[in-house]
């Protein structure tokens, strides 16, 4: 018989990516947020060291965004997204594509990073098919990659724990080797010097499968969830060259790197590499209303515009694609980013950020990685892998600092409004907690 949970039980909520029993034994709830800080249920202020989940690039509770959402809710709360539109969806699309380099001039709305990834993979497959190259059905991801939790993204993703429970996933998927772990790259500042040749792994997969079977390669320009793994110098350029050589589409998953994280609006500009498709989410609305967007090259968009003009060209979309509240939130977000120069602010903060993180090098620290305003401190594993990481995460929370943890790696990406004092507090707090670990 099912066990009846007590009233107001914490058990009713099956929480995402959470150790249910650990959490429910001592819940960590936030009740409000402002600027750089979140406030806990017991009234403590916690510095947001990771833009909550790499989302709140402008910090919390920003007036323009809050107002835009409020006003929109009282005007057009919702309307149909298929065969109908609303003005803000078009206004936002124009503003978004203006931020993108080159031919990335069309945008498709989704509700999350996972949906952006599924959308981009479907665009890639369908694009080849409408051009008469329907044999290009293979999708290539990368080891340690994170592309969300839906079947396509999970299949091209390369995080073992996220894959192993869920069956055989998509067929026809292969993975590039990841570029992490060369000891010569430990404590590199920014892009590590060694490992550009990992991009040549794509040539190996082309030799194995034949280019005529490969639709697209998807990579995060900087691997976020795996613990801020920065690409070796020249790696992404080489990947672009190999894709071009073989007619393979290159997809950048910029769910984390998009909207200023590296000091340019998108990582594409930072690395000087123009992909065919770009997936985004998170920072597009500063995390306030769920939204994602996929940017496509004009050649891809236009390839679909065939057949009778009243026939739907791409059988894909979501009930909430371009939701009015999300569009309003995104417009308020872009206003905030522009008015405060936030999309380039990480470039100014990057040297201070690098110094602060690398200053943590010490006995228990195996590696420090940084780029733009993101970074990671990888601790040497203690008695049991992951134990030290989780302990540090809890102690940091107690000490008033929010971070993310993956294994024994602590990841940081503070809001782009951070001041030097916030960065100092972050580094000091991590340094103090490191000293208390076994
Ligand atoms: N692609 C990338 C590159 C991501 O980082 C997704 C897709 C999926 O987005 P949604 O919106 O469906 O969750 C992500 C999400 C972390 C962490 O700290 C990272 C993400 C989400 C939650 C936690 O490792 N990235």
Predicted pLDDT at 383: 85
What pLDDT shows up at residue 328? 99
- Alpha-carbon distances, residue 175 vs 249, 378, 429 (angstroms): 15, 24, 38
Pairing of strands 277-280, 249-253: parallel
Pocket lining: 113 vs ligand 1, CB cutoff 6 Å: yes
Secondary-structure class of domain 68-339 per CATH: alpha beta
| pLDDT, tens digit, 9 for 90 and up, residues 82-95 | 999 999 999 999 99
pLDDT at position 73, please? 98
CB 254 within 8 A of CB 223: no
Query: Which residue is listed with tokens 């050589």?
Result: 245
Instruction: Give me the pLDDT at residue 319, please.
Output: 98
Are 220 and 257 in contact, with CB atoms under 8 Å apart?
yes
| pLDDT under 50: residue ranges of the chain | none
- CA of 251 relative to ligand 1 center, distance in Å: 16
Q: Which of 151, 152, 223, 225 to mutate to test the pocket of ligand 1 (most atoms within 8 A of CB)?
A: 225
Q: What is the pLDDT of residue 438?
A: 80
Is the shortest distance between the CB of 281 and ligand 1 below 6 Å? yes
Q: Read off the pTM.
A: 0.98
Contact 374, 222 (CB under 8 A): yes
Which atom from ligand 1 is nearest to the alpha carbon of 115? 12
CB distance 254 to ligand 1 below 6 Å: no
Residues of each domain in the chain carrying CATH 3.90.1150.10: 10-57+342-436
One DSSP character per residue, 361-413 reads -STTEEEEEEETTEEEEEEPP-SSTTHHHHHHHHHHHHTTEE-EEETTEEEE-
The whole-angstrom separation of Cα 217 and Cα 196 is 17
Chain segment 153-186, per-residue pLDDT in tens:
999 999 999 999 999 999 999 999 999 999 999 9
Contacts of 258 (CB under 8 A, 6+ apart): 265, 266, 267, 278, 280, 282, 283, 284
CB atoms within 10 A of CB 290: 19
Q: Which atom of ligand 1 is the closest one to the Cα of 254?
A: 3
pLDDT at 221: 98
Cα R_g (the chain), whole angstroms: 22
As annotated, the residues of the chain forming the CATH 3.40.640.10 domain(s) are 68-339
> CB of 114 closer than 6 A to ligand 1?
yes
- What integer pLDDT is reported at residue 2 of this predicted model? 59
36: how many CB neighbours lie within 10 A of its CB?
22
The Å distance, Cα 113 to ligand 1 centre, comes to 6
List CB contacts of 118: < 8 A, sequence separation 6 or more: 110, 148, 150, 151, 152, 153
256 CB near ligand 1 (under 6 Å): yes
Ligand 1 binding pocket includes 404 (Cβ within 6 Å): yes
Residues forming a β-bridge with 39:
32, 45
CATH of domain 10-57+342-436: 3.90.1150.10
220 lines ligand 1 (CB under 6 A): yes
């Amino acid at each position: 018989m099912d066990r009846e949970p007590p009233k107001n039980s914490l058990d009713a909520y099956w929480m995402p990516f959470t150790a249910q029993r650990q959490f429910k034994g001592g819940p960590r709830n936030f009740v409000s947020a402002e600027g750089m800080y979140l406030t806990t249920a017991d009234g403590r202020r916690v510095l947001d060291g990771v833009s909550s989940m790499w989302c709140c690039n402008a910090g919390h509770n920003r007036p323009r965004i809050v107002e835009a959402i409020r006003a929109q809710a009282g005007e057009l709360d919702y309307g149909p997204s298929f065969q109908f539109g609303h003005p803000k969806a078009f206004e936002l699309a124009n503003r978004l594509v203006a931020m993108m380099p080159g031919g990335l001039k069309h945008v498709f709305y989704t509700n999350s990073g996972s949906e952006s990834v599924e959308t981009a993979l479907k665009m890639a497959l369908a694009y080849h098919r409408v051009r008469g190259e329907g044999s290009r059905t293979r999708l290539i991801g990368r080891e340690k990659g994170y592309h969300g939790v839906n079947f396509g993204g999970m299949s091209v993703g390369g995080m073992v724990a996220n894959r192993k429970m869920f069956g055989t996933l998509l067929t026809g998927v292969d993975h590039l080797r990841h570029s992490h772990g060369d000891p010569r790259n430990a404590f590199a500042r920014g892009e590590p010097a060694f490992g550009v040749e990992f991009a040549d792994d794509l040539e190996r997969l082309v030799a194995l499968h034949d280019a005529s079977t490969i639709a697209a390669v998807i990579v995060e320009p900087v691997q976020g969830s795996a613990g801020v793994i920065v690409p070796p110098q020249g790696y992404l350029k080489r990947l672009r060259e190999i894709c071009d050589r073989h007619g393979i589409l290159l997809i950048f998953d910029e769910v984390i790197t998009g909207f200023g994280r590296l000091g340019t609006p998108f990582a594409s500009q930072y690395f000087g590499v123009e992909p065919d498709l770009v997936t985004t989410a998170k920072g597009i609305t500063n995390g306030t209303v769920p939204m994602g967007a996929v940017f496509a090259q004009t050649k891809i968009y236009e390839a679909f515009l065939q057949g009778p003009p009243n026939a739907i060209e791409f059988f894909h979309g979501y009930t909430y694609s371009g939701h009015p509240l999300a569009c309003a939130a995104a417009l308020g977000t872009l206003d905030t980013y522009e008015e405060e120069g936030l999309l380039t602010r990480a470039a100014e903060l990057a040297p201070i950020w690098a110094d602060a993180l690398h200053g943590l090098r010490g006995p228990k620290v195996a590696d420090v990685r940084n780029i733009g305003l993101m970074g990671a401190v990888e601790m040497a594993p203690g008695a049991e892998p992951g134990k030290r990481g989780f302990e540090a995460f809890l102690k940091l929370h107690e000490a008033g600092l929010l971070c993310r943890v993956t294994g024994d790696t602590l990841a940081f990406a503070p809001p782009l409004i951070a001041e030097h004092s916030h960065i100092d507090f972050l580094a000091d707090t991590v340094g103090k907690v490191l000293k208390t670990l076994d």
